[in-house]
Amino acid sequence: MTSPLNPTRRKHRFGKAWMHEHVSDAYVREAKRRGYRSRAAFKLIELDERDKLLRPGIVAVDLGAAPGSWCQVLRERLGTKATIVAVDVLPMDPVAGVSFVQADFSTDEGLAAVESALAGRPVDLVVSDMAPNLSGIDPVDQARSVGLADLALDFAAHHLQPGGDFAVKVFQGSGLGEFEKAVRERFDKTYVRKPKASRDRSREVFLVGKGFAGEGLPRGARGAGHPGGAGEGGVK
């Protein structure tokens, strides 16, 4: 039985043109220099510098964590007192200070494993860099991307504590507007970001939700003691 998080259970296959672009990419070279496992590390760094997501000592969950570059950034910026739980259906080499769960969190068994790793700790931040294995059929790939983002939002809605933050990758296209609306309904402020580290040809954007309203609560329903207020965002 295949997993909705990795329907083909394989990595992408790339051609020679992609490989040439990859090895000549400035972010790839800098990632190697700094010891990051992939250039994607710089996307999270940019999101943090723009939206102040990473605060020392918080509890964070990284969905779709393999190969682990976002975990490396989380570990660097959250410090030794933080709790970081990484989740992926694919294997991932260990990152010091990160608890890794190899599971499909959209299943009851996988979700139980993630919750066991959290050990009852309330979550301050959920991040997701999940992307579907591309079929080359745009409507199919778009639907899969939005589907993965929906899974991440559902996880966040059930595990974030009020005031928590959320960042998720999704492709621009059909379904993005509806998904953005769903995020706005749950967070005080919502932004759509296109990090400079994202390749120009990529349709990916990141939705950032700041100030979770709380499970079952509409935006703006929280008490005045919680940070944040209603806000609007756009592609920046």
| DSSP track, 59-124 | EEEEET-TT-HHHHHHHHHH-TT-EEEEEESS-----TTEEEEES-TTSHHHHHHHHHHHTTPPEE
pTM of the full predicted structure? 0.83
Q: Which residues are catalytic?
A: 169
Q: What is the chain's pLDDT, residue by residue, as a tens digit (236 residues)?
A: 445 565 444 444 455 544 445 556 899 999 999 999 999 999 999 999 999 999 999 999 999 999 999 999 999 999 999 999 999 999 999 999 999 999 999 999 999 999 999 999 999 999 999 999 888 999 999 999 999 999 999 999 999 999 999 999 999 999 999 999 999 999 999 999 999 998 878 899 999 999 999 876 555 444 433 333 333 333 43
